[in-house]
Amino acid sequence: MKIIVTGAAGFIGFHLTNQLLKLNYDVIGFDNINDYYDINLKFGRLTELGISKNYIVENKFVLSEKYKNFKFIKADLTNAATVNKVFEEDADIVIHLAAQAGVRYSIDNPHAYIESNILGFLNILEGCRNSKTAKKLIYASSSSIYGMNAKIPFSTVDRTDEPVSLYAATKKSNELMAFTYNHLYGISTVGLRFFTVYGPWGRPDMAYFKFSNKIMNNEPIQIYNEGKMERDFTYIDDIVEGICKIADSMAVQEAPENKVYNIGNSNPVNLMEFVETLEEELGVTAQKEMLPHQAGDVYRTWADVEDLKSEFHYQPNTSLKNGIKKFVDWYKIFYNLNK
């Protein structure tokens, strides 16, 4: 099976690509390597996949020096011609993870979200529509679309028409667009509402990564709503396992379907407990700056994943302590802190 993975230099995309390659799938990686956060981290991930920074050329395929079943192209989702070029590779499934991420960043940079998350997603859908083979799409949605939903745990049958950030609004739009393309053109689509994914090679804009940087630099960490927040932290390996199971199921699927699932740990953790676990693994006590609630943030996330468990035998099993330990072990090696 040949799979297109967009966002292959991103956090989830990198881990997923690495696992698919180890399972001997043919993978075509796609990423624009933008500077939303440190591009050296993105190039580091690609190096792990056998793609050297020195050989990357805009809009041209690069073959992996590590995996014979992997090639990568640096390109932008908003470039329809290049997206179509990738779809000429006759893939069987598209796993679309590329997006402009970040709730808070969307408040200051709204245009980036419309371009990447709306126009970019449209180009992916059009690629599937025009492809002879790639009629099956798994795409990244987000738990952010639940907004200020007071009912817990969050279920896919809950209302999601009151997003509190533009990022969330674009993800809700993706789900609506996927429904339309399923209805009109028979494309099978699965949207995954991710819940606070963490782990090695993560995104520096995520709280646990930012906290680690500040703690190790003896700077205070900013804790919003005075720490009275809960997140359904989900370790990256559990996420990747879930996506792989869905991809395998879609590979033998005949009738086109349109589905949306939560993918999380279904075990929310208080933010202060998370900080304490991080302090313990780093071996440093954080200076804490307690701040009021920030616009765009939700108070609690909690995934109802019963349908994912029953249909795909999804079973997240990484504890918070083990997950944070694995992140910190990687973090210390990557930033050369084991002196």
Q: Is the pLDDT of residue 339 over 70?
A: no
Phi, psi of 301 (to 5 degrees): -125, 140
Contacts of 216 (CB under 8 A, 6+ apart): 282, 284, 335, 337
Based on the residue annotation, tell me whether 67 is a catalytic residue of this protein: no
pTM above 0.85, yes or no: yes
Q: Mapped to the 3 state alphabet, what secondary structure does 214-240 carry?
A: HHHCCCCEEEHHHHCCEECCEEHHHHH
pLDDT at 301: 87
What are the backbone dihedrals phi and psi of residue 216, each rounded to the nearest 5 degrees, phi first? -75, -20
Percent of the chain with pLDDT over 90: 87
All domains in the chain, ordered by first residue: 2-198+233-265+300-318 (3.40.50.720)
Residue 89 region by backbone torsions, left for phi larger than 0, else alpha for psi between -120 and 50, else beta: alpha
37, 167, 208, 314: which one is catalytic? 167
Question: pLDDT category, 296, cuts 50, 70, 90?
Answer: low
Q: Is the pLDDT of residue 293 over 90?
A: no
pLDDT digits (tens, 9 = 90+) for 181-206: 999 999 999 999 999 999 999 999 99
